[in-house]
Structure 1
Amino acid sequence: MMERFPPPIKERLKRQGYHLVAHGAVKPCLWLRRSIRGGDQCYKNHFYGIASHRCVQMTPTLLCNHRCLHCWRPIDEMPASSGDWIEPAELLDGVLFEQQRLISGYGGAPETTDLARLEEAKSPAHVAVSLMGEPTLYPMIKELVEEIKGRGMTAFLVTNGTMPEVLGEVRPTQLYISLNAPDEQTYLKVSNPVADLWGRFLESLEMMRDSPSRTVARLTLARNLNLKDPQGYARLIEIAEPDFVEVKAYMHLGSSRNRLERDSMPTHDEVVEFARDLSEILGYRFADHVPLSRVALLSRGSAQEKIEL
């Protein structure tokens, strides 16, 4: 495959655990490692039944049209273009091959590995299209999602909502929109978009309302930044009418440490309090919370929480 990233960026990504596949990437998350060693699993397991050791965390592109203050990915160094796009089947083949390479080493440490989970991990059941970048900038994202589902896996697609025309076409198992702010002024500060994208974001909320997929509005909240105005968030959520709302704390990790202070991280109690305020305004049920991840789940009651795999 052709080189798509300058050598310094490529080497930095490799050091951080990213395995590049053409213009995309795959990376095992902390929870996959914990799960495959017999430990706890991530909040997607607690909320939706997704097994962390059978989850592939990937992106079809590292490009992004936001420069979010709270983003821990190394977004500031990404190139402006991706080069030639490869077909979804080829991209997914490469991603799954790299995922197997990533987990193969656990077999050499049977004393610390749950061998039953390792065997299950060899047959991925879920793809989280959310690793880095804005996946809807990949022009064949609809076909990629279809390829994932066609191979018997579920697909969670996380988008910043700047490509509403894509949201009208793509059909993931679960569709997320990241809701970074309760109003346009805060959006411009937090998301730092490369162009005037607020109107497109609002259009995406309307597209989400009509999506046949399970839908989620995800709030990542940072103290003294966007942890405010639950009424404003509620007005935006009411446009989209998502099945679920995830309220999550900003975590002081990666490149975000260059932009935000450690004190920007809300406590789990603050997250729960904000989620309960939203629950009361929206009429959504406070369904669950995971203290270790500082995240809470609200449910509209329009879809069952656990997904049948």
Structure 2
Amino acid sequence: MSLIELLKKQGYHIVGGHSAIKPCLWLGRSLKGRGACYKSHFYGISSHLCMQMTPCIACNQRCLHCWRPVEEPFAVKAWDRPEAIIEGCLREQRRFITGYGGILESDKQRWEEAFKPKHAAISLVGEPTLYPYLDELVHQLSNMGMSTFIVTNGTRPEALEKVTPSQLYMSLDAPDRETYMKACNPAVDLWDKVSESLEVLGARKNRRAIRLTLVKGVNMKDPEGYAALIKKAMPDYVEVKAYMHLGYSRNRLPRDAMPKHEEVMAFSKKVADVAGYRLASDVELSRVVLLSKDGGKKAIK
């Protein structure tokens, strides 16, 4: 089965030749007044106004902890223009939101608001920096009045020098090269690119965040090593999150590779102490901790 067929089976809506969008679990819960995701708690993002999408379903890593079917290759034949991707994603977002209008539990005001999303989380599947017009895509979304997150694996530092999202996320899933090769499983060694991207982030002035996804028995070790790498980038925020035993990652990792929230908290404090950060917030349900330089947090405009 091809990657596109597998993604469709999981509820992804394919847009054009290489993009995708998927309704987030928290979007549905927010429409029913049942809470919001940790991005709401940390950064003030309204879950029912968030569009979770990607301009590129292909990826250059095969991370053990990824819940997507990363084993399936995907080659892009031709790149779609940003305006076509945006139009397609908005169309699909509105299509699956329509169904919530007939649910008695739905908050009708939120439901009407959801047809005009205010935030694009460019973090769904694949590696967005492989898309050659990512900077233009972000610019067009910004002109539409939408805030943007980009979540990247940091393997294309040249792309990070150009993009200007509301917040630039970089995943840091290892404290050293050996662990990186085991946890992220790239076809070729990209650790030097990851290290270079940390330096690029350190030179940027826009909001930046580094995310650690901790997997017991794989990369949940050497907090001092993580702290040293974080110091190269000095991001505004550091998210330390537990690996979640979901999707295709269940074929690669055992359930006990998923840390408990208290274990994530303890690891976060060690990283914070060495890196010079403070605990800003945490969400136990998502097993995630937010660190910042001053212990505070600021909403995305």
Give TM class, smaller chain. Answer: over 0.9
Contact 1:217–1:242 under 8 Å retained in 2: yes
Alignment of 1:106-255 (within 5 A): 106-109=100-103, 111-255=104-248
CA distance in structure 1 between the aligned counterparts of 2:2 and 2:221, rounded to whole angstroms = 39
CA distance in structure 1 between the aligned counterparts of 2:215 and 2:190, rounded to whole angstroms = 21
Flag as ranges the 4+ runs of structure 1 deviating above 4 A.
none
Gaps of 5+ in 2: none
SS in 1 for 2:150: strand
Q: Does the C-alpha gap of structure 1 residues 29 and 152 become closer, same or farther in structure 2, counting only changes over 3 Å?
A: same
CA distance in structure 2 between the aligned counterparts of 1:301 and 1:84, rounded to whole angstroms = 45
Deviations 1:134-163 (CA, angstroms, capped at 9, x unpaired): 000001011111111111000100000010
Give the TM-score normalised by structure 2: 0.97
Gaps of 5+ in 1: 1-6
Q: CA deviation at 1:302?
A: 9.8
Deviations 1:11-55 (CA, angstroms, capped at 9, x unpaired): 332221100001100001111111111111000000000001100
SS in 2 for 1:200: helix
CA distance in structure 2 between the aligned counterparts of 1:265 and 1:303, rounded to whole angstroms = 27
Matched, 1:89 2:58: no
Q: CA deviation at 1:212?
A: 2.5
1:30 to 25, 38, 44: 25
CA distance in structure 2 between the aligned counterparts of 1:202 and 1:302, rounded to whole angstroms = 26
Matched, 1:273 2:266: yes
Amino acid at match of 2:63: C
Deviations 1:183-202 (CA, angstroms, capped at 9, x unpaired): 11000100111212111111
CA distance in structure 1 between the aligned counterparts of 2:97 and 2:297, rounded to whole angstroms = 31
Amino acid at match of 1:90: A
CA distance in structure 2 between the aligned counterparts of 1:84 and 1:305, rounded to whole angstroms = 39
Q: Does the C-alpha gap of structure 1 residues 136 and 303 become closer, same or farther in structure 2, counting only changes over 3 Å?
A: farther
Amino acid at match of 1:198: W
1:100 to 68, 79, 94: 94
Contact 1:243–1:303 under 8 Å retained in 2: no
CA distance in structure 2 between the aligned counterparts of 1:180 and 1:146, rounded to whole angstroms = 28
Contact 1:73–1:256 under 8 Å retained in 2: yes
CA distance in structure 1 between the aligned counterparts of 2:80 and 2:96, rounded to whole angstroms = 22
CA distance in structure 1 between the aligned counterparts of 2:93 and 2:260, rounded to whole angstroms = 33
Question: 2:49 corresponds to which residue?
Answer: 54
Q: Across the two proteins, how many residue pairs are aligned to each other? A: 300
CA RMSD for the aligned pairs?
A: 1.3
Q: CA deviation at 1:120?
A: 1.5
Contact 2:183–2:218 under 8 Å retained in 1: yes
